[in-house]
Amino acid sequence: MYAIVGITGNVGGATARALLKAGKQVRGIVRDKVKAAAWAAAGVELVAADVNDTAALEKAFQGAEGVFVMVPPNFAPAPGFPENRAIVASLRRVLATVRPERAVYLSSIGAQQDRGLGLITQSHQVEQEMSSLPIANAFIRAAWFLENYQWDVPSAREQGEINVFLNPLDRLFPMVAANDIGELAALTLQQGWQGNRYLELEGPQRYSPLDAAAAFSRVLNRPVKTKPIPRAEWDELFEQQGMPKGRTGPRIEMLDGFNTGWIEFERTGTEPFKGRQTLEEVLRELLQKGI
């Protein structure tokens, strides 16, 4: 049996589907069983637990051969990432107590660095804390999520343009689909190893902002162009989009890291993997979901 944290999210859900397809028993750790009723209908055992509740998590992890762990995303953390530190500490205490045979974690490209990561600092903290656990650990360093383009669907469809923060426009950036992350996580959970593994995952090809606009054009059957947003306008724009004032710094630092090439795969001492799903396929799925 495999326990999954974040089963109601894209990556956790993809991990669960892949395990169920392989005929494995799955336990989903959720905050609200009612909202996850579809998973129960699919044969998943649901356990209510919050990532900050160590007692509930211990019960949820008991009996699991392996666990998939992801820290809930926080796009506007307080200075120093105290929220993430607390969650990681809670998860580490539980894993150190329960000691499942293995744990697979959602990490990020660039997480090997200790500075200049912005939001990805949270993945660095996960790796730093969990790598000392006396169990088999695997950290999936996933590339930029292709699903991030869901936020551009309305403007592409209605105005024929997408806001662009990655630059230059023709630079190829590593990206990957959530389904590919989940499939790798499920496969890894069923393997045996000792110590720490670092799995670096990207899609079948890299994409530039120009490639993204072209893909939108094909799936929407209308011209779509890029709309580069000057860096000087990012802070104000992010606040207009709902980010708390004074909390945009980590997001900007992360974008700077991608644009300068600082946030990249380590490649040395890691395992490279390629996903299968393309950007165009992901966009078509997003449109089918009514986004």
**Residue 220 DSSP code:** H
pTM over 0.85: yes
Domain of residue 91: give its range: 2-288
Q: At what angle do helices 54-61 and 82-98 cross, to 10 degrees?
A: 40
Q: What is the domain count for the chain?
A: 1
Region class of 267: left (phi > 0), else alpha (psi between -120 and 50), else beta = left
* Residue 291, pLDDT above cutoff 90: no
Check which CATH number belongs to the domain holding 257 and give it.
Answer: 3.40.50.720
| C-beta pairs of 127-132 under 8 Å, 24+ apart in sequence | 127/198, 129/88, 129/89, 129/92, 130/69, 130/88, 130/91, 130/92, 130/95, 130/103, 130/105, 131/196
Band of the pLDDT at 58, cuts 50, 70, 90?
Answer: very high
* Residue 271, pLDDT above cutoff 80: yes
Spatial separation of the C-alpha atoms in residues 26 and 72, rounded to whole Å: 20
pLDDT for res 272: 98
pLDDT for res 290: 78
pLDDT for res 227: 97
Helical H segments across 49-164, by residue range: 54-61, 82-98, 121-130, 153-158
Q: At what angle do helices 178-189 and 10-21 cross, to 10 degrees?
A: 50
pLDDT for res 289: 87
**What are the pLDDT digits (tens) for 110-140?**
999 999 999 999 999 999 999 999 999 999 9
